[in-house]
Amino acid sequence: INPPCESGVSFELKTVVAIEPHKNTQLSGLYQSNDMMVTQCEAEGFRRITYFQDRPDVMATYDVRVEADKKQYPVLLSNGNAIDSGECTEEGRHWATFSDPFPKPSYLFALVAGDLGNVEGTFTTMSGREIKLLVWSEHENVDQLDWAMQSLRDSMKWDEETYGREYDLDVYNIVAVNDFNMGAMENKGLNIFNTAAVLAKPSTATDRDYERVQGVVGHEYFHN
């Protein structure tokens, strides 16, 4: 790589990579969890996806296009606001684009693709903006997502009332994953959780389980 030597000169670098996430057993970078594709980039997972200056002091904005088989991966998610989506020219495939306007280190990049169910809600900020809230998991887990949604709303409200901090994107996603190498990850606008830190319902969860979900959801939100 030979970028321009002159100070202040911008240039465009294009890279093309081929990876095999279904063979990735490290739970780092892009990997397969059951029938879902998911990322974990902290601390050095992004370099397993593509070339990058994968250091926390290298901050960049991200515009992402995700393309996949629509039947196998009907839900496509990435950081930032959803910009557009549509059908590909190749039959059976679809795409979605996302834009995160806030510079972040590469370890906060996130992408999820799969057949997922969700609970959906909204939160109105102190300036009157309506934020779309979604908590995702496999369809059989959807009846255990309501408490995580309530915990997210409570965290957003507490942060505003206590510190005057208002969430800055238009959407906030939480995705619960069975195969995850930590409790949760604070990727900007697309938190990825171990299911153990999200799922709770009265018939199976204890008070301690509810407290854990509330604490972890709040902790990851405050990173955002």
* Catalytic residue (choose from 42, 138, 186, 220): 220
220 among known catalytic residues: yes
Q: How far apart are CA 58 and CA 102, in angstroms?
A: 13
Instruction: Give residue 58's region: left, alpha or beta (phi > 0; psi -120 to 50).
Output: beta
Contact between residue 142 and residue 116 where contact means Cβ atoms under 8 Å apart: no
Q: How far apart are CA 29 and CA 20, in angstroms?
A: 11
Q: How far is CA 197 from CA 6, 32, 146, 149, 222, in A?
A: 49, 20, 13, 12, 16
Residues that are catalytic: 220
